[in-house]
Amino acid sequence: MTDAGLALADWFTAHRRDLPWREEAARLDPYRVLVSELMLQQTRVATAIPYFQRFVARFPDVRSLADAPEGDVMAAWKGLGYYSRARNLLEAAQAVVREHGGRLPEDFAALRRLPGVGDYTAGAVLSIAFGVATPAVDGNVLRVLARFAGLDGDVARPATRKRVADLSAALSPPGRAADFCEGLMELGATVCLPKTPDCGACPWSGACAAFAEGRTAELPVKRPKPPPERSERTALVVRDGAGRLLVEYRESGLLGGLWGFPEREAEDAFEARSGVRPDLAGARPAGVVEHVFTHRRWRMEVFACSVARAADTPDGPESRDDPPPRPPFRWVTEAEFEALPVSKAFQKVWSTARVFTGG
C-alpha cells in the first residue's frame, strides 16, 4: 500500500497549490499549522488566505497570541465566522504557554487536550509540522479513501471513520507523512470532488475501486443531514439622545466573545437587565433578517427605537442624561460599532436598521 501512498505524496509535491500555510517555514511551524487548520474548518481556502496572513502577522507565535486580549483576537477573526474557533485558538495558546513552555507538544494525547483540537487537527499538526504519520480524517479524506477502497459503510458512522483512519495510516509512506497528509486533503479539494471527480487527473485512478467499478457517484455513502433548527427571534436597535447604539457582549454560547444587539423583551425586564429603558411603545419594525448557522436558522425581526424619556423632567426631556448601561451592555458610536467583533447575523441586523433609520 505504501506504493500508492508514495504516488500520492509525489503528486502533491508536483501539483500542490501555492498557499501561505504551505510555505516551508509555515509547514515546519506547528503554531501556523494549527492556525491554518482551525481557520480552514468550515471556511473556503480563498476566504481563509487573507485572514491567515493578517492573523499570523498580528500574532506571529504562540506567546504573542496567548498574551493578547480576547477582544483583539476576536477582532482579527471578524468576518470569518464560527467564532468559537477563535476563542479555542486563544485558549489553546494560553494552555501551550502555561503547560508546555510555549511549544506545541509532539504528542497526540497532549494535543487533543488543547481547546478546539480534535482527532483531525491533532493528526494534521503531527503529520505536517512534526512528520509523524498520524491519520487526519476530515470530509475530503473520508470521500477520497471511501472511493479508493470502495467502502460501502456510512461515513458518518464511527466504524467507517475508523476504517478510513486505519487505511490512511497503512498508506502513509515512511518519511513523507506531511506530503501524504496534505496530498489527501489536496486530492479531495481539487480532484476527487463530491459531484464531478476528475478521475483522469487522479494519481490513484488505476488503483481506485470506485473508478474501476463505476461507482464514484455512489460513494461515499452519507446519510442526509437534518434541516437546520429554526428559531424565531427579535433584535432591538436602541439609540440614545446622541445617536449612539446600545450593544451587548455575549460571554458564552453560540456567539460567545462577540458583540451584537440585544433581543427585545418586556420593558421592565429589559431595563432590569441592561439599566436602559427603551421606548418600546415607539419601536418601529425595520425589517426581517435571516441567518443560517451550521445547525440553526435564525429569523430575526428587527425593531428600531430610542431611549424612553421621562415626561416630568423639570427642564424638558432633552436635559436628562441617558442612563449608563450595566455590563455587558455599552453605548457605542456607529464608528465604534464597526470596529467591534460582531457576528455576521448582527451585521445583517445593523445593515437593515441603518437603511431603515438613515444612519
In a domain, 224, yes or no: no
Q: What is the per-residue pLDDT for 357?
A: 75
* 47 and 161, same domain (yes or no): yes
Model confidence band, residue 309 (pLDDT cutoffs 50, 70, 90)? low
Contacts of 185 (CB under 8 A, 6+ apart): 136, 138, 140, 141
In a domain, 345, yes or no: yes
Count of helix runs (H) and strand runs (E) in the chain: 16, 6
φ/ψ (deg, to 5) at 234: -130, 155
In a domain, 221, yes or no: no
Q: How many domains does the chain have?
A: 2
Domain end position, chosen among 212, 246, 273 = 212
CATH number of the domain bearing residue 94: 1.10.340.30
Tell me: the pLDDT tens digits for 243-254?
999 999 998 888
* 131 and 258, same domain (yes or no): no
* 123 and 267, same domain (yes or no): no
Q: 169-185: b or e for each residue (b if 16 or more CB lie within 10 Å)?
A: eebbbeebbbbbbbbbb
* 9 and 152, same domain (yes or no): yes
* 142 and 37, same domain (yes or no): yes
Domain end position, chosen among 160, 182, 212 = 212
| C-alpha torsion sign, points 56, 47, 126, 182 | negative
Domain range for 158 is 2-212
Contact predicate 26/20, CB 8 Å: yes
Q: What is the per-residue pLDDT for 308?
A: 87
In a domain, 49, yes or no: yes
**Mean of per-residue pLDDT scores for the chain:** 92
2: exposed, middle or buried (C-beta count within 10 Å: 0-12, 13-18, 19+)?
middle
In a domain, 217, yes or no: no
* 67 and 148, same domain (yes or no): yes
Q: Does residue 321 surpass a pLDDT of 80?
A: no
Q: Which three cell numbers stand for residue 252?
A: 458564552
List, by residue number, the catalytic residues. 37
In a domain, 79, yes or no: yes
* 243 and 200, same domain (yes or no): no
Tell me: the pLDDT tens digits for 140-190?
999 999 999 999 999 999 999 999 999 999 999 999 999 999 999 999 999
CATH number of the domain bearing residue 306: 3.90.79.10
Cis omega before residue 328 (within 30°)? yes
* 72 and 147, same domain (yes or no): yes
In a domain, 222, yes or no: no
In a domain, 219, yes or no: no
Contact predicate 182/172, CB 8 Å: no
Tell me: the pLDDT tens digits for 258-305?
999 999 988 889 999 999 999 999 999 999 999 998 889 999 999 999
* 102 and 198, same domain (yes or no): yes
Q: What is the per-residue pLDDT for 21?
A: 97
* 244 and 311, same domain (yes or no): yes
* 193 and 245, same domain (yes or no): no
Contact predicate 183/9, CB 8 Å: yes
* 60 and 203, same domain (yes or no): yes
Domain end position, chosen among 212, 242, 265 = 212
pTM as predicted? 0.82
